[in-house]
Amino acid sequence: MTEFDAGRHVLPRPDARRPLTTTMDVHDQETAFTPIGPVPPPEGAPNVVIVLVDDLGFGTSSAFGGPCEMPAADRLAEGGLRYTRFHVTALCSPTRQALLTGRNHHSVGMGGTTEMATAAPGYNGFRPRSAATMAQILQGNGYSTAAFGKWHQTPPREISAVGPFDRWPTGEGFDTFYGFMGAEMNHWYPLLYQGTTPVEPDRRPEDGYHLSEDLVDHAIDWVRTQRTLTPDRPFFTYLALGAAHAPLHVGPEWQEKYRGRFDHGWDRQREATLERQKELGVVPPETELAPWAEGVPHWDELTDNQRKLAARFMETFAAFTEHADVQVGRFLDALEELGELDNTIILYVLGDNGASGEGGIEGTIVEHRLGHGIVDDPDEMIDHLDEIGGPLSYPIAPAGWALALNTPYQWTKQVASHFGGTRDGMVLHWPRGVPERGGLRHQFSHVIDVLPTILDCVGVPAPFSVDGVPQQPIEGTSMKQTLTDPQAPEHRRTQYFEMCGNRGIYHDGWMAVTRHGIPWEMVPEGDRPFAEDVWELYDLSEDWSQAHDLAAQHPQKLRQLQDLFLIEAAQYQVFPLDDRVTERENPAVAGRIDLLGDRTSVTYRAGMRRFTEETTPNIKNRSHSITADIELPDTTAEGVLIAQGGRFGGWTLYVTEGRPAYAYNYFGMNLYTVRGGEPLAPGRHEVRLEFDYDGGGLGKGGTATLLVDGEKHATGRVDQTIPYYFSFDETLDVGVDLSTPVTDDYPVLDNEFTGTLHTMRIDLGAQSAESSEFDGGLHRRVMGAQ
């Protein structure tokens, strides 16, 4: 092996040997010195772009016969290849970890989302250093690298101002990052990061701001700058949009385009989508619709209000999806303008899992309600019909639409056993490397195959060592042969699937599966042992869509595949199976390290912001106090002292018209407010909120008492509290309420405290026994919504 070859297998490339110095005077030096420069990329190496959109499903995009117009996806498909049997993992974080490492999600610690991490090796949420990312490998081979959009791979307790940052994008091989770190984000009022620095947009919805546009603006600016400064280096851009994950946020002008298009309902939409899929050739002519999910009503079983609401939810979803895709089109235009489109490998992955059924039977205008078992009444939601998609809503669509968007397959996101959760469309576009236009590829492939395919096309080997750490084997297999040969043999004969206890195994055209849970079930009836799960068997060579269960006809084949699942699951750290969902949100129950440990008191200073729920004291389901040391000016003071969450759930301590006040927002349904009676005099004061929790279970009420300088000023009741989480996207902030406001007593964004805030302290009281851990039989689906 030459020294140069070793540099490709050992990353970063070892330093070159220094030439001998032969003289004291540079004028007498006979041997020229070689300047130190970046590692050169392979000769003629193409650029790489991976676009990943969220929660779509196989039958969503127009490129795969769906009702959501996606002109950029169509454009790339017409100029490239559609992969019709491409599979993901059924949830967000696991697919992303598998995509960027080329390993199965359990092999790299991501058996669930980051918020569901436990101490078990396959579920701990930590990518091992022995599994370098695509960005690290390409960066070590001379590429410029940048990530934009959703990340969702960093342990939540590490998303803070003190890190550590080695599992942030810029610690995992990306030179640049602009986006959000968690599962989802408000697209009107996002909280973002530039690298590891918290930032907020400088525009608002009324100024025309939208997150999808912002992300692509930054991607375009970066690639233009990269081509100007380092045109000799190829680039890797990872563009992971938040759309079409909840909340479904899009302007009314986009929704208007789809007005009335879904009045026919989800049953007819499945039929229409399948007809179109057959015309496109992305499914065989004999493909049948898989069975409808039991418990989900058919369209003609809905009330008029349910149908009207459901149609509006779908109009919003489709508009949100098309709007995001149009932004991708702007990025493609920028590449074309730079002359880079033909020499760029673009993989457009149309979903990190199937469409989400976590909106339940009705859908909701505030997603967090469903996560806590609260089902919106359609007859009440109808009064907010025109708010859906706008800044006053946080919506997610009903499960019936998810089933339609996953046509022709069964089930939805989370359900790794069936293709409705795991099969998504994928488009590959590379004119310089793939001469065929509009081709179809039907080989069985998996998201772990992306990394080895990219390395194969770029011309760099998988490294033996990265940052001094020997690398574990890449478990994906290159698809490169399929790029130029539509009849290439299948590169993947076997693949296991598992998520939240739902399991499946594919081998040589057969697939055995067992569904353990239902994503939209609010209160399952007890815990079903895994041994009682019923297995199904499908012959995919004859049954493309898993429409006909052959378990009874072929028990021996089923037993063979069940045994194979055990072998694969043991090899890739799937055991022990874990069907807990909500419970794993609690670090103590999940068994992972709690950042705050046993601390019951935390003191903040003015200007501290952007604390996620896992980096703050957990005030839920217990008594607590919040104490502010403030100084008021001679003029009337206004603004927020501390706030957690926002418009769709949270609490805040603030000053309005010089008076202290406390507000508790219960999912945007009820707002409980306690206000002091008299304005505070100028000078220094201690403002204290004492919350006396009723106890007796989770989410109970309590009494809120406001004290100023030790004297009681006001008392009020909070009848209900939020038991599990305030928000997936909003944070705890001191001296300001970022993103959306908890209460309309102060404005959006411009709500900083106008006095001086010296310190802010949160003290936790004793937690009652019944509140010390989550109810094991309730709300199993909450964190799976991500």
CA distance 491 to 481: 9
- C-alpha 448/C-alpha 452 separation (Å) is 8
DSSP 8-state assignment for residue 387: G
Mind giving me the DSSP string for 277-302? Answer: HHHHTSS-TT--PPPPPTTSPPGGGS
Q: Rounded to an integer, what distance in angstroms lies between the CA atom of residue 261 and that of residue 242?
A: 24
Rounded distance between C-alpha atoms, residue 722 and residue 368, angstroms: 10
* DSSP-derived 3-state class of residue 711: strand
- Asked if residue 148 lies in contact with residue 215, where contact means CB atoms within 8 angstroms, the answer is yes
Query: Could you tell me the strand order of the sheet in which 601-605 lies?
Result: 601-605, 756-764, 624-632, 683-693, 702-708, 711-718
Topology annotation, domain 592-785: Jelly Rolls (2.60.120)
Domain parsing of the chain, residue ranges:
48-468, 502-587, 592-785
Exposure string over 641-672, b if 16+ CB within 10 A, otherwise e: bbbbbbbbbbbbbbbbebbbbbbbbbbbeeeb
DSSP 394: B
Give the pLDDT of residue 769: 53
> 527 by DSSP, 3-state: which?
coil
Q: Looking at residues 64-85, what average pLDDT do you find?
A: 98
Query: What pLDDT band is residue 785 in, cutting at 50, 70 and 90?
Result: very low
- Return the number of other C-beta atoms located less than 10 Å from residue 493's C-beta: 12
Bridge partners (DSSP) of residue 693 are 702
The residue that leads in pLDDT, 413 or 36, is: 413
Q: Does 48-468 match 592-785 in CATH topology?
A: no
pLDDT digits (tens, 9 = 90+) for 336-371: 999 999 999 999 999 999 999 999 999 999 999 988
Judge contact between 665 and 671, C-beta under 8 A.
Answer: yes
pLDDT (0 to 100) of residue 163: 95
Distance between terminal CA atoms of the chain? Answer: 45
The structure tokens listed for 761 are 């302290």
Phi and psi torsions of 781, nearest 5°: -95, -5
Do residues 781 and 582 touch, judged by C-beta distance below 8 A? yes
pLDDT tens digits, 537-557: 999 999 999 999 999 999 999
Block residue for tokens 């706030």: 643
Q: Identify the pLDDT of residue 351.
A: 98
CA distance 271 to 264: 11
Neighbouring C-beta atoms of residue 379, cutoff 10 Å: 11
pLDDT of residue 6: 56
Residue matched to tokens 């003190």: 162
State which CATH number among 1.10.1740.10, 3.40.720.10, 3.40.190.120, 3.90.700.10 fits the domain covering 48-468. Answer: 3.40.720.10
Task: Tell me the per-residue pLDDT of 613-628, one tens digit each, with 9 for 90 and over.
Answer: 999 999 999 999 999 9
Residue 749's pLDDT band (cuts 50, 70, 90): confident
CB of 215 closer than 8 Å to CB of 201: no
Please state the rounded mean pLDDT for residues 630-658.
Answer: 96
Which of 3.40.1390.30, 3.30.70.2610, 3.30.1120.10, 3.30.450.20 would CATH assign to domain 502-587?
3.30.1120.10
The number of helix segments (H) and strand segments (E) in the chain equals: 16, 29
pLDDT at 522 over 70: no
Q: How far apart are CA 588 and CA 595, in angstroms?
A: 11
The C-alpha atoms of residue 661 and residue 675 are separated, in whole angstroms, by 4
**CA dihedral sign of residues 349, 352, 354, 359:** negative
Task: Give per-residue burial for 765-776: e unless 16+ CB within 10 Å, then b.
Answer: eebbeebeebee
pTM metric for this prediction: 0.96
Q: What is the mean pLDDT of residues 577-606?
A: 86
What tens digit of pLDDT does each residue of 412-434 get? 999 999 999 999 999 999 999 99
